[in-house]
């Protein structure tokens, strides 16, 4: 098999996680909540689990963040390297994130998907997620890039 099963990543994996997010074309906030400092703080807080899929030679080709607020779980920043898409890697990562959240007692798991991201929507639907049509997402930010 060319891929290892999904495994936990740590704060020290930040550079390759960031490189993968960039290669995947994910919309990230490198000076805000996706900065190295923010990533380390989120990991230290114990509410974030980072899961990756590597090739057998150790290259990171898929990643997801599983976070929760004690009430609801969130699947964030799901990304698969373009060369490894459509081979079930995202499905594996979503399942691993769900397992990690359920282990922490979380029973409701959600994801926010930007308008027009049809691949991501298809991917979550394929993993059994239902879309709430007409739901409004509101947020308040300390800084524009946070």
Q: Choose between 43 and 79: whose C-beta lies nearer to ligand COA.
A: 79
At closest approach, how far in Å is the CB of 110 from ligand COA?
11
Select 80 or 100, whichever has its Cβ closest to ligand COA.
Answer: 80
The CA distance from 84 to 66, in Å, is: 21
Shortest distance (Å) from residue 123 CB to ligand COA: 3
Interface positions with ligand COA (CB under 6 A): 24-26, 78-80, 85-91, 111, 113, 117, 119-120, 122-123, 126
Rounded to a whole number of angstroms, the minimum distance from the CB of residue 80 to ligand COA is 4
Tally the C-alpha atoms within 13 A of residue 91's C-alpha that lie toward its C-beta. Answer: 10
Question: Residue 94 in 3-state DSSP?
Answer: helix
Q: Is there a contact between 121 and 131 (Cβ–Cβ < 8 Å)?
A: yes
Long-range contacts, stretch 129-134, CB < 8 angstroms, 24+ apart: none
Q: Give the residue with the Cβ less far from ligand COA, 25 or 70.
A: 25
Nearer to ligand COA, 86 or 105 (CB): 86
Q: Which two tokens stand for residue 2?
A: 């060319």
Residue 59 CB-half CA count within 13 A: 11
Instruction: Tell me how far, at minimum, the Cβ of 17 lies from ligand COA, in Å.
Output: 13
């Amino acid at each position: 098999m060319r891929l290892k099963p999904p495994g936990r990543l740590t704060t020290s994996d930040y550079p390759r996680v960031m490189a993968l997010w960039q290669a995947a074309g994910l919309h990230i906030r490198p000076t805000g909540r996706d900065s190295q400092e923010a990533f380390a703080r989120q990991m230290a807080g114990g509410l974030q689990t980072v899961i990756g899929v590597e090739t057998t030679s150790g290259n990171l080709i898929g990643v997801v963040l599983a976070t929760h607020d004690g009430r609801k779980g969130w699947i964030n920043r799901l990304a698969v390297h373009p060369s490894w898409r459509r081979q079930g890697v995202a499905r594996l990562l979503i399942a691993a994130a769900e397992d990690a959240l359920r282990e922490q007692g979380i029973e409701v798991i959600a994801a926010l998907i930007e308008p027009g991201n049809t691949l991501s929507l298809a991917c979550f639907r394929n993993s059994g997620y239902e879309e709430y049509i007409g739901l409004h997402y509101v947020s308040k930010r300390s800084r524009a890039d946070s």
